[in-house]
Amino acid sequence: MSLFQSALDFLAAAGAGGAGSAGAASRDQNDFVGQIVELGDTKLRIKRVIAEGGFAFVYEAQDLGSGKDFALKVSWWTL
């Protein structure tokens, strides 16, 4: 099965509420959610998955020092 077909199957299951659902439940249950990430002097808490694609996840992350929210893109190769 090609990567493209696999992605289409995933999206189709999500629309039908199937096991591959990309809805709120699966977005909050990603293993990276809740982790603290250090980028230089900045510490970010991963709040939730915003999106996922063929090469990366995009997370909502909050700076623990300032409270500001950021988008953090993490490639699948680094997880």
Residue 50 lies in a domain: yes
The string of pLDDT tens digits covering residues 39-62 is: 999 999 999 999 988 899 999 999
Query: pTM of the prediction?
Result: 0.62
Give the CATH number for residue 47: 3.30.200.20
What rounded mean pLDDT belongs to the chain?
A: 76
Strand partners, 40: none
Distance spanning both ends of the chain, measured CA to CA? 23
Name which of 41, 47, 55, 53 is nearest 72 in CA terms: 47
Q: How confident is the model at residue 28 (pLDDT cuts 50, 70, 90)?
A: low
Domain count, the chain: 1
Among 5, 23, 6, which residue's Cα sits nearest to residue 14? 23
Domain hosting residue 55, numbered range: 33-78
